[in-house]
């Protein structure tokens, strides 16, 4: 597993850090993003409703069965997360010289 914690579905499988690769972190994630300029009240309502739905037991269970971990964070926290991901992967791309080929 490439996340910071063991998967609840696979508790006996060590994380990459536990296996001796502390800098190997990778995960897929999904989020909802509103267009720039969306009124703050709309963003707040969208965030509340998404968090409410993610907190429903049936939704959380269905997502966890697929290996996902529902979060439902704030717009600020999600923005900071996306920024950190973009910076981290930009560094990986630059350091490895990866390019897109067709």
Give the DSSP letter string of 13-76.
SPPTTTTT-TT----------PPTT--HHHHHHHHHHHHHHHTSHHHHHHHHHTT-------HH
User: What distance in Å separates the CA atoms of residue 63 and residue 59, rounded to the nearest whole number?
Assistant: 6
pLDDT of residue 72: 87
User: What distance in Å separates the CA atoms of residue 41 and residue 62, rounded to the nearest whole number?
Assistant: 29
Residue ranges, the chain, pLDDT below 50? 102
pLDDT in tens, 83-98: 998 998 898 888 888 8
pLDDT of residue 54: 94
pLDDT of residue 1: 65
Percent of the chain with pLDDT over 70: 97
pLDDT of residue 51: 94
pLDDT of residue 32: 92
Q: What angle do CA 69, 87, 51 make, to 5 degrees?
A: 30
Beta carbons of 34 and 43 less than 8 angstroms apart: yes
pLDDT of residue 56: 96
Parse the chain into domains and list their residue ranges. 1-30, 40-96
pLDDT of residue 99: 82
pLDDT of residue 57: 95
CA separation (Å) from 38 to 42, 47, 63? 7, 13, 28
């Amino acid at each position: 597993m490439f996340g910071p914690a063991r998967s609840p579905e696979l508790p006996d499988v060590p994380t990459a850090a536990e296996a001796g690769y502390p800098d190997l972190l990778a995960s897929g994630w999904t989020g909802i993003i509103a267009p720039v300029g969306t009124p703050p009240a709309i963003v707040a309502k969208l965030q509340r409703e998404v968090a409410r739905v993610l907190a429903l037991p049936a939704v959380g269970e269905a997502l966890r069965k697929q290996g996902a971990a529902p979060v439902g964070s704030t717009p600020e926290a999600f923005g900071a997360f996306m920024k950190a991901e973009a910076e981290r992967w930009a560094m990986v791309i630059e350091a490895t010289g990866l390019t897109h080929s067709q």
